[in-house]
Structure formats: C-alpha cells, structure tokens
Structure 1
Amino acid sequence: MREALSILASATVLPPSATPSGNYRRRHRHSTTSTTTKPRPNHNPKQKPQFPASSPLLSSSRWANRQTLAYYTKLASKLADDGKFDDFLMIAESVVASGVNMSEFLALLESEHLARGIVRLLCDGKLDSLVATLFNGIQKLGVEPVGLFDEVAIESLKAECRRLLKCGELERLVSLIEIFAGFQFIIKELVEPSEFIKLCITKREPTAAIRYAHIFPHAEVLFCSIILEFGKKRDLGSALKAFEASEKILSSPNMHAYRTIIDVCGLCGDYLKSRTIYEGLLAENITPNIYVFNSLMNVNSHDLSYTLDIYKKMETLGMMSDITSHNILLKSCCLAAKVELAQDTYKQIRKLESKGVLKLDDFTYSTIIKVFADAKMWKHALEIREDMLLSGIIPNTITWSSLISACANAGLVEKAIILFDEMLQADAQPNTQCFNTLLHACVEVCQFDRAFRLFQCWKERGSQQTISGDKLNRAYNEAVDQMSEMGVPLRLCSHLTMRVPYRPTTSTYNIMMKACGTDYYRAKDLIDEMKTFNLTPNHISWSILIDVCGGSGNVLGALQILASMRESGIQPDVIAYTTAIKICVKQKKPKLAFKLFAEMKKYQIKPNMVTYNTILRARSIDGSLLGLQQCLAIYQQMRKAGYKPNDYHLKQLIEDWCEGVLQTERRSERQFASHITDFGRQSLLLEKVAEYLQDSNAESLFIDLRGLTKVEARIVVLAVIRKIKEKYVAGKSIKDDLSIILEQQRHGDRASRDESGVGEAVIRLLKHDLALEVIEAGSRTGSDRDNKGSPTNSSLNFEVDEKGSLAETSESPTRRPIILQRLKVTRKSLHQWLHRKTVSSKR
C-alpha cells in the first residue's frame, strides 16, 4: 500500500513531455477540441461534481495523474466499504498532499461505500474505533464527519447509542455524546434527553447528567429537570450537586433553578437547607422573585413564624403577593391550628379581591374550610361554602371532603351523610377519603353497625350519583354512539343515575377493624379480606389487631400476633409494642410488659411518651424491690430521652412501697405524705430515691437528707429501710450502722435549731413508728473568724464522706461553722427489727 502511495506521489511531478500516446491521446484531443459542447447541469446532489478546466488534475501536463487518481479513488472506496479507515485515510492524506482538494477527492468517491463502511463498524460494535480513526482523521483533512453519514448510517449510530443506554454504560455514552456534539451531530436525534436523564436518576449518576445537560444550549431547563427528578427520588445530595453545577456553568442566577432546588428540599424533608439557599441569595445581593419566595414559604409552611417573616420580607421589598402566597399563608395557619389568624388572612384576601387585586381560587376556599374542619367549627365551614358559591367557584372534591370532615369531626354523622349526598347531586366525584371520613365518623360515635352496613353496601353496589347538565350531555352522546351501532333508539331524559365505583384502601380496613371492638375473629376476617383487593396490612393494621385481641383478654394471642407481624416481613414499630405493653399491664402481666420493653431496646425501637407512661403503670401490680427499681430506671430513661414525665403515679408507688415498712398504717400520716403537688419537687425526690435504691449502692448504709422537706425525708428513709428489709429477706445480713445526716442552722443564727422539723420527724419515725434505737450526735463542719478578725479555736474543717463519716479537710476556715445533726441507727436494733418483721410475716 505504501509503495502504491509513493507511485501516486511521483506521478504528480511528471514532465509535460511524458504524456500518453495512441488511442488515449486521441481521446484526449477529442475532448479538448469539443469546447463548444456545454456540460449537462448536475441536478443530482449525489452525482460526482464536474471539475473546471483550470483544475490541475485535468490539465494536459498532468493527464497521466487522472488514471492514477481513478485507480486510488476506486481503491479508497473499496477500503472504506470494508471499514478499513486507517488505510483509507492514508490514501486520502497522500491525495491531498499531491495537491488535490479533499472535497474533490470525496466527490470522486462513491459515497455509499463510506456509509456502508461506517455501518459495518457500528454493527460490529466498534464505535470507539470509528471515532478514533475516521472522525479525527477526516476532520484533520478539513471535512466534517457528519457529512459522511447518510440516513442508514445515522440510524445505525442511533441504534448503537440506544444499546449503550440500555446497557447502562452512562460514562462511556456521555463521553461519546460530547465528541458527537463537537462534530456537529444533532444530539437529541441520537439520544432522547428524557431517557438519558431518567437513567442517570435511576443509577444515581448526577455527574453524567450534568455533563449531558451542559452540551445543549438550553442547559438551564435541563438542569432544572435533573434537580427535580433527583428530588422525586428523595436524593437531595445529587440534586444539590446538579444545582451547584448549574450555578458554575450559567452566567447569571437562574431563579427557576433556585425555585426547583427549594422545592426539592421540601420533598426531601430538609427545610433548613432551603433556608440556607435563600440566605445565600441574599448574601450575594440577589433579590429572589415571587416564585422563589412562594416555594420557600411552602417548604417552611410548618413553621408559621418563619412563613410570616418571609411574607413580611416580600412586603419590605415592595413585591406584590399573589394568590399563591396567601394560600400558602393560609396553609401555614392551618398546620399551626391558628384559627383566628387564618380568619384574619381570609378577610384580608377577600378585601384585596374586592379591590380587584386578587382573585380567590378553589384552593383558598378549601384551605380555610379545612381550618374550620380541624377546629370542629362546622358552621363556619358551611358559611365559607356559601361565599364560594356566590363567587361563582364550584366546590371540587377536596372542598367537599373538607366540608364532610368538618361535620364528621364534630360528631355530626347525619349532617356529614347529607353533605355526601349533596356532593353526589352536584356531579362531584367522591374519592376514597370521603368514604373513609364517613366510616370514621360512624366509628367515633360508636355506630359500628351503621359503619358496616355502609361499607358492605359501597363494596357491592358503589354509590349512586345523579348526573345532569354538561356531564349528562356527554354521557348521552356516548350512549347514543353505542346504541346507534346496535340499532337501539335512545330517549333523552333530564337526569341520569350512575354508580360511582368504590375501592377500599388499607386505611378503610383499619377503620373497620376499629369497629370490631373486641371481636377478634371479625377483625381477622377483615385482614384476610384485604388480600382480595391486593392490599397489604400495614403497621397500623397489625397494631389494631393486637389491640382487638388483647381487648378480649387473650394476652398470649396478642403477643403471637406481634410475632406474626415480624414473620410477615413487617418490623413492629413503637405503636405495636406500646399496644402490646398496654394489654399486658391491663391484664396484670407486669413481667411480660417489662419483657416487651426490653425487647424494644433489643431491636433499637425508641419508646415514646405513651410507651413510658404505659410501662410505669405496672407499678400497682408488682410491689417488689426489683419492680420498683425497674420503674425508677425507666423513669430516669424517660427524663434522659427528653420527655417530661408525670411524676404523680411513680411518687404514689414509692409512697405505698415505703409505707409498707410500718407495722400499722397511720391514716393521717398517709394522707399527709401524699400532699406533694409541686411536680418539680417530685422530680428531685424521685431522683434521690432512685439514687439510694440502685444496686450499685447496695452496701451503702448512709442517708443524706440535706435540702429535703419532712415529707421527702420520711419517704427517703422508709425507702432505704424497705430496701434493707428486702435484702435481709433475700439472705443478706447487715454489717454496719445506718447513718443519717441532717442539715442544721449555721452557728450564731437566731433561727431555731430545727426550724424545718426534718430531724424531729425522722426521729419520731425511727423511734416511735419503727421502734429502732437512734443515737443523736452533732458535728461542726466549718468555722468563721471571730469578731476581732482572729480565727476561732476550731481551725479544722470537716466534710461528710460517702459512708457518713466526718473527714478532716485542709481548707482554711473562712466561713461560719455549719452544725450537722447526725443520727445513727445501730446495727443491733436493725437486726432486732428485721427479726420481728420476719417472724410476724411468717405467722
């Protein structure tokens, strides 16, 4: 091949005398003498172009080159047909080097050979080789590769791109598309943008999507589409990556992209990120448009204060709020249950409408109706409907659903059903929520039989709806078309009755299961019936079934349902466990309740407020030390979890448990002990009791009553003594005396020695009620300087250690001494008391 090319190169420099002879010369002379004959016009664009007489290729001095060029043109066509574009380009380069224009050389070629060679490589899957050789080589010679493709070659290229897309080779495909775009190919004809972006979303490939969008002149539109699609997949990270790329690529801020990313933040539940994006705009001194503000308000509509701030910010900027802004503000009021603010906003909108500034839409009326529906203000909701009709706006399905909910929430079942009938007569198509709302209303007022009758009727026959007006005409025309084909005459009537199909949902069956009361088998049949509608029980369904089974007294059956729930592939949640715990507590099965509570920790299910309160109700069932310790531990967990516990029940439990120490109960003291109403003091008391009852303090026989009231000190002392009794019964002996520290007044105070009465109450409890031997002792823990500025005789400080002993400290005496009253209950008296209690309990 290279030898042939050298021959071609040498032939281009032949001298003028080296011309052919014979017939060829005569043909040449004939062609040169026929100058009067005009060439035929070239009407076929694929026909080889006619070279001008001045072309060096046709000059007489290079007449021999024509044969050589014809030979290599034919050879190049054959090589192109075989897909051997490396050799083809070698010939093309040599021809161009000889002085022949590349476009003229290509015109001499048979173009179908090039196209067939391209198709051959594409069919063999050698697209990369085609791009690397032909595309780059032909462009170096001054020819665009896109001109080599005919319709068949273009279709082959499309097929290969679709194959790569189907195989998911996004990185390879996007690299090729970038090359095609550089070679002037029409990209959207090769790969459908929506299909490529859809695959990028599915495979979580934001980089490929960004590179693809960057190719198009309308990149800002594609970027918004990419951001939104990632948001629908709840992939905020990829959406933010596409958004940041759009900011870098686009020359000016794209408000549509800002609005889209803020909407995506709402879809992904990250409202704080939407605020950060908005603050970034303000930091760059960019004023958002009304649509960005509306999106920001909508995403943060759950936070009424923030929504109002954004609304006021719009007013500060002089931006006119549209009806969407006011609707979102109404929505925020609805979510925050601010009825009065919603009413004021509604009045303001009506005022603007009267001035011609705004026009209320169905969303405005539906939202304010829902505000009243949630607040059970059904009369106000019906008044809004009248305003709506006077404005010429026809209530839609959402409006009717909110009206029905308003009456249903107020317990007006009859009124709700009347509204449902009016909805059907108004040609409005009810949705499943309307049916469910009516069923729920019946269940809430305990009309269980009525709920089942409606449910069964709707399942079998649907709901009758009277059609008139435009809908009737459309239905009539459709019926005429059908009847005319069968040759049956049809008379026009003033109305038409049709059946609205009814398809229950999982929520529908959950409502009906609540109507079963304690009838477990009926509820179980509803679970089985759900399968006929291709429905699957959810967490709520299983929780209701557990509650129904437990309500009939079948605790083991309820626990079996909990296990079956996990076996069915649904992990029990906090509601299911709380329901099961409630059943165990109600049926006086505290051990099972605590076992379920421990199982929640095993599966890392966090208890909620209801769970904690439910498990703490087990206090009245189990009166042992272990049961109390479990309750106290749960109480402390509840506080650490951030819940504010109701301490009354646990305080009552501790009082009952502690008072059990006494041989005889004194009614007056029992009543006096229960008069703690300060819940803050209760929390401190419970923390103190919990500290002394922990197993880690099992060896400690020391009680510090400083800072406690008489009632609190009594409970703490009784709790520790009850704990000593429980340990003694379990076989653990007492090894030391019981020490009690009482805080007294500072030395020199005019107040009485025991103004609080804590010491007197504790001594009376120990000596008179429990018949224990108590030894009183006072200790000085610090000293002040005397009036002359000199230290007192006592220069030592003492503090009480964890065992109740007084320990000397090295701190200088700068304060007045605090006199501590120390009580000691001897080990001997404790043994005697415990022995008496044990003997009396056996009797």
Structure 2
Amino acid sequence: MRGLLILGSASSSSSSSSIAGRCSRRPSHSKALNSSLSNVFPTGTHSPLSSRPSTIHSRSPLLSSVQWDIAGASSGGKTSLRHYADVASKLAERGKLDDFAMVVENVVVAGVEPSQFAAVLAVELVAKGISRCLREGNLWNVVQVLRKVEELGISAVGLCDESAVESLRRECRRISKSGDLEELVEFMEVLSGFGFSIKEMMKPSEVIKLCVDARNPKIAIRYASILPQADILFCTVINEFGKKRDLKSAFMAYTESKAHMNGPNMYIYRSIIDVCGLCGDYKKSRNIYHQDLLSQNVTPNVYVFNSLMNVNAHDLNYIFQLYKNMQNLGVPADMASYNILLKACCLAGRVDLAQDIYREVKHLETTGVLKLDVFTYSTIVKVFADAKLWKMALRVKEDMQSAGVSPNMVTWSSLISSCANSGLVELAIQLFEEMVSAGCEPNTQCCNILLHACVEARQFDRAFRLFRSWREKELWDDIERRNSTDDNLNADPTSQLCITNMPNAQSHVHQIKFAGNFAFKPTITTYNILMKACGTDYYHAKALMEEMKSVGLTPNHISWSILIDICGGSRDVKSAVQILTTMRMAGVDPDVVAYTTAIKVCVGCKNWRLAFSLFEEMKRFEIQPNLVTYSTLLRARSTYGSLHEVQQCLAIYQDMRKSGFKSDDHYLKELIAEWCEGVLQNNNQQQEEATAPCNRTDIGKPRCLILEKVAEHLQKSFTESLAIDLQELTKVEARIVVLAVLRMIKENYALGESVKDDIFIILGVSKVEPDLVEQNFEVRDAITKLLQYELGLEVLPAGPTTAPDEVAGSESSNMSLTKLNGIMGRNKYTTRKPAAVQRLKVTKKSLKDWLQRNRDIIEYRLSIPKNDSFC
C-alpha cells in the first residue's frame, strides 16, 4: 500500500489563528506536531506525518496524487484512515487537544469527509482527553478545540461521552460557585451553540436564582434567551425579582426581555403588572398599560386586564374604566374579572355596586355565559358582611347552596364575622356548628372570630367554655394517639389535661361533641382575646400569658398592652407602669400602643405628672405618638390650674400638629378659655362679656389659629417686650388671647418677675374691604372694654405703624367707613402704599398697679396643692 503523506497547508495556520478563546494558543509548527507523534509511536517506528514538512504554501504534487475512494476504498485505504484516527485519538487522550485539532484539520484538508473520519475516531479516548483538560483548568482551550472541529464539520457533541458531559457539568457548577455569572452564561452560550442541552448542565431555576440574588437582570435574561421556551423563563425572572421586592431589577428584566421578543407577549406584560402590584407601585402598572400597550396599538387579553384591575383594585373608578375599555376593545370578561370588580366594591364599601354586579353575573349564569364559582359567592358575602348586612349575606349563602356550590372557609368565616359584628352571638355559633357539620374544618381565625364575638357581647364565661371545648378535643385526641401505643391503657387521660379552668363549665362529653372533628391550634390572637375576657382579674390574665408560653407562643405587644389595661381597670397605676419595664426584660420593647395604654391608665386615675412623664419617655425612646396618645393627654384635665399646665398641653398640641395629626380643637379651646377667664374671677367688674368665651358658635369652629396664637405668646420670655398679635381673630378669640397673656404675667409676677415694658396690642392692617375693617373695629372695642372697664388698665391708642407688604389702607385707626368706601372706589391700578397697622398700648404703670391689687389673689391660687401621687 502506498503511504499517505499529509502536508500542513497554509490554511492550517490561518484557521488555527482564528480560534476564539481565553487560553493561550499553541503555534501549529511541524516540529511541535512531530514531537507529539514521537511520544505516541515507539522509537524506530515510522511516523506517517514525519516524512514531509507539514507546512507549505502550496499543495504538493504527491498530495494531489493521493486519491481517497470513500465509496469503495480498498482495505489498505481504510487501514490508513483508521491509522490516522488512532493517532488523533491518542493525541487527544494525552491532553494534546491542539495537536488533535491539527491532525483533524490536515485529514479534512486532504479530502476526507469529516463524518467518515469522525466515525473511526475513538470517542472514548477523545472524551477522556477533554475531561483531562477540564480537570487541569484548561476550559477555554477545550472550547477553542471544539469550536475548531465544529468548523471542520465534526460535531463537538459527538466527541463527548457521558463522562465528558459530566465534566462539563462540574465546570458549570465550579464557575457558578465562583460567582462569575457572566463567564457561566458565556460558557453555556458556547455549549448551546455546539448543540449541548443546557438544561442538563444546570437547572435553569438555579441559574436564575443566582442572577436574582446578584441583582443582575441582564445576565438572567441573557441566560433565559438561550433556552427553549424562553418566554416562560422571562416571566420567571421578572416574578423572582418581584418576590424580592426589587421592582427596579424587574423592570430592567422586562425591558431586556422585550428585545428578545418577536412580537407582543401577554405573559410578560401580565408578569410585570403583577410585580408592580406585589411591590405596591400601581402607577407603573398603569404606565405599562398606557405606554407599552395602548400607545403601541396592542390589545391586551383578558388575563392582562385582570392583572391590571387586581393591582388597582383600591381605585374603584379606575378599574371600572378598565372594564369599559375591555368592552370597547371587544375583550370578553371572564369570571375572574367580575370577582375582581366585586373585590374592588368590597374595598370601597360600595354595597350598591356589588349588588348590581352580582345581579349581572347571575343573569349571565342563567344564559350559560358564565358559571359562578365559590370565589364570587365568597366575595359578595364578604361585601355584605363588612357592611353588617347579615341577612343579605345569609341570602347569598342560600343562593350558592341552591346552585350546588359548597361554601368554603372564607365564606363561612365571612358569615360568622357578619353575625358576630352585629352582636348576634347565638346565630354566629349556630353557623359555626353548621360549618363543622358540613365537613368544612374551621381554622383558628374562624374560632377567634367567634371568641371575639363572645367577648364583645361580654359573654366571658361562654368564651372560655368554647375555648375549653376546642382545646380539650385537641388534647384528648393527642392523648388517645399517645395511649394507643402505650402499654398502660388504664391511665386516666383527663388527669393529663392542662387547660384554663373557668366556673360553670359544661361537661366533658358535651364539649367533645360540640367541638366536632377539627384541629384547633390556638394562636397569640386567641390568648389575647381571652385576656380581654378576664376583665379586671390581673392574676387570671397573667396565668393566660404563662399558658401561652407553655404552648410555645410568645406574648406580643398587644398581650402586654391588654395586661396594662387590666391594671388600669383595677386602678393599679404602679403595676401598669411597671409592666413597661417587665416588657423590656422579656425582650419586647414597648411600642406606641403599650405607652398609650399606660398613659390612659394614669389619666384615668388623674395622675397627670406620671402621664406626661411617660409621654416624655416615649419621645426619648424615639417612639412616635399616635392620635390616641395626643388626644388622651389633651383631654386629661377638666380644668387648668397653672401656667405650666397650660404650656405643657399647648406644647403637646403643637407637637401633634407638626406630626400631621388633626383633631377637634373645641374641647381644648374651652379649657384655655376657662383658664384665661380666671384673670377676671376676683375682679369686681361683672360684665356681660365675661361669659363670651362660653359661646359655642364663636369658639367651637374647627380653627386652630387661636390655640396657635395662645401657644406662641405663652412660650415667650416674660422679660421680652410683649406685643400681642390679634390679627385674623374674632373678638371672642382676641379676648382669650389677651387674657392668656395677662394670666401668664400674673403668675410670673407672683414668682418675683416684674413688668419691664408696655404691652402693645396689634389689631390688624387697615384693609380696604369693609367687612375686615368692621371686624377690626369690633375687636378694638371688645379689647378696650375688657382692659379698661373689666380690669382697670390704662389703654391708649399707640398710633399706626406701617406694613410695607400690604396694600394701602386707612391713615389712622379712626378712619370712617365712608372714607374707606371712597378708597375702594379708586382705580385698582393706583400706586401701592405702605399699609397702616392699628395698635393699642397698655401702659407699664397701670399693669404694675393692677398686679399689686391682685397679689393676694395670685398667692391664694398658687397655694392650691396638686394631686400628683399614685392612686
């Protein structure tokens, strides 16, 4: 047989240099190849590739004369082909993959069909060499060689057996553990191009989880795009970011996925809308609908509409608009659409609309268009239950049973809740028994609803009897199961029961019969409800907390707050406050509810000082008071005795306003007015105006300006020059502010501080509006009468001062209404002038005389003791 001479042509070096990869390339020189072959063949054996130089720039005549008859090759030709295949296989086995690729290239260049040469290669040896290179860390060198043989027409998958594929899997896991997700995805892209199954390398869910944990949506979408059913994986990526509440990454994944879609994909639109709802950003869901769908003339399907309506269920008007859009676009609503509409009505409390929808779906059911499901019935029942329309809720139950739909747990719970909220405890228990008889196992929430109904109806014993029956059934079954495997069957199981005892409990047999066949697992809420049923029995409530711990439950803030409230019921202020410390020792930091409850206990026992000290303690611990906290403190007193008490309450009032809370100021205004009128209680003058602050029509308006004015003046230092600003106040409100300042002056004078200056009273800017001018005159007259005739103070007109930012008004405080009307008739485009501010002055001398006359009265009032001790 004539020997075959394979010469490395110029194409060998050029093709070798084009191999892409991360490892260093080996030069394709003939010496390197011959050196490798000398290691394969024994010494003295003629290497088939060593007889001629392997690199030439033109095909030699000898190589041209070699003819390969593939269809009918002689036995000698087949032997030569197999010989070169053995050479290549042994090179690969030894990890010489570059040389292996060179042999394959030279054989193919010589005219051998790649498939024919691949058929005689020893795949197990090649795969063994691939695994060896992977173990040695030459990953990208392997990729380089596999890409080269792919270009030559030999399948890379065909060169890998199961062991080589397992090596590739291990390499994928290694890269994933290193955290280089970009390298991992790049490697999988290469394997996908070779035809390997990417799902077999690593589970897609594992790779997606790694990308989500790394907050890398681009890599996640890039990986998903190389897998079959990429659209579904895009949705998975978006949803996984949504579960992490990472809306930003979810939107990046959504944007990246759109670049890989050939057209609109409703699954992806629905996924990103659901994620918007999960992350609480309903506005972005609307942007997707309007910008990505409607503006692109894409008609959403019913599932996208349902997701959009569900996310925006809190906005009844918007989802009804979406419902109309569905109809206009010809998208038929399904049962889920109507269920979401009913849900929105439930959230908005619109019973009328819910009834209309219910009638509509009932009509559609009679025509065969829809079939009402248990969700529809349960939702409409909950609508009526929340509105306390228990009769209508029971009527819906009858409708669903007539339709052959069995109520589920949500339906029964809503029905029981409806009756319980309406105070119908007997009916609620009857429904509970009917639910158990129907084979629907109640959950603990449903049992808690029934217990709460009993407590609200003050049927405390009944609540405990129900709890005993449920707990005994659970413990009895547990004992029976335990005793069935115990040799000692003569033990008395009832002796092992450890439950809360209450008097007048029913017999054990009746309780087991009533309990039915359901498992009852009490929760913290269960014990909290029972603690409320303890009334003022502190020790019984404390025993319940201990039982709670014995069953593996930890008392929460509500539990401790209820215990504090129980102390208040027995007027034990000291124990109520001590519980706050006990909470911290138990590892539960008191919250705003616990502090507010303790403050209510102090207020109820008229321990003002302790109540306000608890409020200050809250602020030190950076616990933000709520509206109940503020209201409790502001309504603590029925009267004020000193300036300090008024300043204390006004400071709390201002803190409440700064925190964004609004309350009815009427009660506080009356207390301030009563305190202010104390200035007049020991004066001889008894004028009709003294009763003016009691006029509810004047001070009962929802205005906070008067309180802000009083607070502003009472916080000033006594040594400052006093200027009482009465602008925008009525005459009654102005009277209260002036009296408040005088009361402050009296109390400070009694403490040894003297008057330093005159008092100026600012009545307001002279406006051109007749109503405002008339109001200023009324305030001036009322204040003048108060100071001169009721208090005996000297009041002088101080003369107007200018306010440059105001429109020009009258030139003096005595300007007549006729002259003002003349000013109003002037051209509105006249030049603006500085406005005149009207003022009154109370002289320092008259203030000193008045204070000296009332010194004895002040001392008497300050000598009244305050009750700040524990009750």
Report the counterpart of residue 232 of structure 2 in structure 1: 221
**1:773 pairs with 787, 793, 796, which one?**
793
Matched position secondary structure for 1:501: coil
The 1-side partners of 2:151 and 2:772 are apart by 108
**Which moved further from structure 2: 370-379 or 654-663?**
654-663
Segment of structure 1 superposing worse, 495-504 or 265-274: 495-504
* Contact 2:469–2:514, Cα closer than 8 Å, also in 1: no
Q: Deviations over 1:620-664 (max 9, x none)?
A: 476443332232233233334433221012112212321233343
Give 1:370's match in structure 2, choosing from 376, 382, 390: 382
Match of 1:553 among 562, 571, 575: 571
Alignment of 1:390-409 (within 5 A): 390-409=402-421
Structure 1 Cα separation of the partners of residues 658 and 62 of structure 2 = 110
- 8 Å CA contact retained: 1:12, 1:98: no
Deviations 1:338-382 (A, max 9, x none): 122222221222222223322221111111111111111111111
Given the superposition, is the C-alpha separation of residues 828 and 813 from structure 1 closer, same or farther in structure 2, using an over 3 Å criterion?
A: farther
Q: Answer yes or no: is the 8 Å Cα contact 2:342–2:380 preserved in 1.
A: yes
| Corresponding residue number in structure 2 for 1:487 | none
Could you say what secondary structure the match of 2:704 adopts?
Answer: helix
The residue aligned with 1:617 is 635
CA deviation map 1:421-479 (0-9, x unaligned):
111111222222221111111111111121112112211204999xxxxxxxxxxxxxx
The answer to which of 624-633 and 184-193 deviates more is 624-633
Q: 1:442 aligns with which of 454, 469, 476?
A: 454
CA contact (8 A) 1:135 1:145 kept: yes
**2:369 is matched with which residue?**
357
Give the Å deviation of 1:419: 0.8
Matching residue's letter, 2:848: K
* 3-state SS of paired residue (1:126): coil
Asked if 1:656 corresponds to 2:674, the answer is yes
1:474 maps to: none
1:829 alignment partner, one of 823, 832, 849: 849
SS in 2 for 1:597: helix
Alpha-carbon RMSD across the aligned residues, in angstroms, is: 4.1
Q: Deviations over 1:117-154 (max 9, x none)?
A: 233344x3736345444333433433232111112222
Q: Aligned runs of 1:382-781 on 2, under 5 Å?
A: 382-462=394-474, 499-566=517-584, 570-620=588-638, 623-664=641-682, 671-677=691-697, 679-680=700-701, 682-695=703-716, 699-742=720-763, 757-770=778-791, 772-777=792-797, 779=799
Question: How far apart are the structure 2 equivalents of 1:598 and 1:656?
Answer: 26
Query: Would you say the 8 A contact 1:294–1:324 is kept in 2?
Result: yes
The CA distance in 2 between the partners of 1:557 and 1:158, in whole Å, is 66
Residues 776-795 of structure 1 mapped to structure 2, 5 A cutoff: 776-777=796-797, 779=799
Letter in 2 for 1:417: I
Higher RCO (CA-CA < 8 Å; seq separation 6+): 2
Instruction: Give the alignment partner of residue 155 of structure 2, picking from 118, 132, 144.
Output: 144
Q: Matches of 1:611 and 1:751 in 2, distance apart?
A: 39
Question: Structure 2 matches for 1:172-211, cutoff 5 A?
Answer: 172-211=183-222
Q: Is the 8 A contact 2:722 2:758 kept in 1?
A: yes
**More displaced 10-residue stretch of structure 1: 262-271 or 540-549:** 540-549
**Structure 1 position 52, deviation (Å):** 5.2
Pairwise CA distance, 1:497: 11
Paired residue secondary structure (1:351): helix
AA at the equivalent of 1:352: L
8 A Cα contact 1:424 1:464, kept in partner: no
| Aligned partner of 2:271 among 257, 260, 266 | 260
How far 1:600 sits from its partner (Å)?
4.2
Distance 1:643 1:518, change over 3 A: same
- The aligned counterpart of 2:77 is 58
| Residues in 2 aligned to 1:602 and 1:317: alpha-carbon distance in whole angstroms | 59
Q: Deviations over 1:145-176 (max 9, x none)?
A: 21111122223333443455466554432222
Compared CA separation, residues 57 and 393, structure 1 to 2 (3 A): same
8 Å contact kept, 1:265–1:274: yes
**Where does the alignment leave 5 or more consecutive residues of structure 1 unmatched?**
19-48, 466-494, 784-790, 798-810
Q: In the alignment, which residue of structure 2 is the partner of 1:38?
A: none
* Number of the residue aligned with 2:257: 246
**Structure 1 position 53, deviation (Å):** 5.1
Distance 2:765 2:223 in 1: 82
Deviations 1:730-761 (A, max 9, x none): 44322112223446989999999999654444
What secondary structure does 2:269 align onto? helix
CA contact (8 A) 2:33 2:99 kept: no
Identify the residue that residue 802 of structure 1 maps to in structure 2: none
Distance 1:400 1:568 in 2: 38
> Is there any run of 5+ residues in structure 2 with no aligned partner, and where?
1-31, 38-46, 55-59, 478-512, 804-808, 816-829, 864-871
1:414 shift after superposition: 0.9
Secondary structure at the residue paired with 1:607? coil
Deviation at 1:115, TM superposition (A): 1.7
Map 1:17-36; keep pairs closer than 5 Å. none
Structure 1 residues 554 and 147: alpha-carbon distance in aligned structure 2, compared to 1, 3 A threshold: farther
What is the correspondence of 1:37-116 to structure 2 with a 5 Å cutoff?
54=73, 58=77, 66=80, 70=83, 74=86, 76-96=88-108, 103-116=115-128
Please give the TM-score of this superposition, normalised by the length of structure 1: 0.80
Cα displacement (A) at 1:683: 1.7
Instruction: After superposing the two structures, state which structure 1 stretch, 590-599 or 139-148, moved more.
Output: 590-599
Structure 1 residues 91 and 141 mapped into 2: Cα distance closer, same or farther (>3 Å)?
Answer: same
| Aligned residues with identical type, % of pairs | 52
- Structure 2: which amino acid aligns with 1:300? N
Question: 1:463, 1:500 within 8 Å by CA — same for their partners in 2?
Answer: no
After superposition, the Cα gap between the structure-2 partners of 1:125 and 1:717, relative to the gap in structure 1 and judged at 3 Å, is farther
- Other-structure match for 1:11: 51
Q: Contact conserved, 1:463 with 1:502, CA < 8 A, in 2?
A: no
Shift of 1:412: 0.8
2:221 partner letter: I
Matches of 2:213 and 2:578, distance apart in 1: 40
Q: Give the total of aligned pairs.
A: 753
Tell me if 1:119 matches 2:131: yes
